[in-house]
Amino acid sequence: MIQTLFGSLDEEKNKKPGLLDRMKEAVSRTRENLSERIDEIVAFNKEIDANTLDDLEATLIAADLGTGTTQQVLEALRERATHRQIGNIDELKRLLKEQIAGILNGASNVPPRSVNGPEVILVVGVNGTGKTTTIGKLANTLRGQGKTVLLCASDTFRAAAIEQLEVWGSRTGVEVIKTKPGGDPSAVLFDALTAAKARNTDYVIVDTAGRLHTKQNLMAELEKMRRTAQKVISDAPHETLLVMDATTGQNGLQQARQFTQSAGVSGIVLTKLDGTAKGGVVVAISRELGLPVRYVGVGEKAGDLLPFDSQAFVDSLFA
Ligand SMILES: Nc1nc2c(ncn2[C@@H]2O[C@H](COP(=O)(O)OP(=O)(O)O)[C@@H](O)[C@H]2O)c(=O)[nH]1
Ligand SMILES: [Mg+2]
């Protein structure tokens, strides 16, 4: 059973029967890029042998699985292909699905939960990846479940960032705790957590800056925020979500490494899956960062956030 921040995915599936359809829609360009090319490769090669796998390699890399992940997937198929044990295309796709699901499931973990008091979600990542938008979507999801939420505007680096979070706050009916632009991100976090604790708010979602003057500066700031959070709620943050932009592919993965090395990331949100033919990057992320993808962003609206289910994802890719 897949756990998300908000309980089991089965519960969410029951509420939203269209989840698989929405995932299929979101990866439609990736599916064309992957599944339909595989059809062509097999049609061209007639039988599935070592040559087919060579052609398949280029296709998997084009879908942004990355070279290491592609090699791992193909390695598992090579022996069988050499002995002509992959009878037809359905069998080939079934094996690919099995390999990819295995990688995705291998990175899964259960988010730690707050024993008592507010659950704190720290949202980090490079500028423009979709942090603030994702926070708005998460607030919307939680509000829809009747939870109480506070947003914390700790991206004090730009005035526009605070205003953008406030727009999401009013859209979702959630209060935003803020300070003036240029203010101390940790100070506003302290205020937000103190307020949440006093009010017994269910969730606090914390927006952070994507960049400061230097990388070291940024990482030190995030570290300070963690320490500050723990002064108010000892086991906070309960989840640190790294937001990544699917359209930046392998470059985004490079940038993400810097965060996972020093920001205590526990899960990934992959945004803009709707805009790319390279959704295979999900698999590369799981394998290379060893972290589960918790959610995918599939558009700019409040409802455009889907809990990530590896089986629904592979089924959608090869549908
Ligand atoms: N198509 C699409 N656009 C998105 C998604 N998530 C965010 N965006 C857009 O990406 C841009 C940057 O988002 P923002 O939340 O400001 O990024 P931040 O700098 O990380 O806070 C905005 O124009 C968002 O509307 C998504 O899942 N799909
Ligand atoms: Mg932002």
Rg (CA), the chain: 21
Indicate which ligand has the atom closest to the C-alpha of 271: 1
Instruction: Measure the CA–CA gap between 262 and 272, rounded to whole angstroms.
Output: 25
64: left (phi over 0), alpha (psi -120 to 50) or beta: left
For residue 154, the ligand closest to its alpha carbon is 2
Side chain identity, residue 96: L
Q: Pocket residues for ligand 1 (CB within 6 Å)?
A: 125, 127-133, 210, 243, 271-272, 274-275, 297-300, 304
Which ligand sits nearest to residue 296's alpha carbon? 1
Q: Which of 163, 204, 197, 164 is nearest to 180 (CA)?
A: 163
- Pocket mutation for ligand 1, best pick of 122, 129, 133 (most atoms within 8 Å of C-beta): 133
Whole-angstrom distance, CA of residue 235 vs CA of residue 256: 24
pLDDT along the chain (319 residues), means of 10: 51 62 94 90 84 92 94 91 84 93 89 79 95 98 96 94 97 97 96 97 96 84 96 95 93 87 90 93 94 95 95 91
CA 117 vs. chain centroid, Å, equals 25
Which residues are bridge partners to 8 per DSSP?
A: 3
Q: Residue 4: its pLDDT value, please? A: 56
Greatest Cα-to-Cα distance within the chain, rounded to the nearest angstrom: 68
Ligand 1 atom showing the smallest separation from residue 128 Cα: 19
CA of 132 to the centre of ligand 1 (A): 7
124 in Cβ contact with 222 (< 8 Å): yes
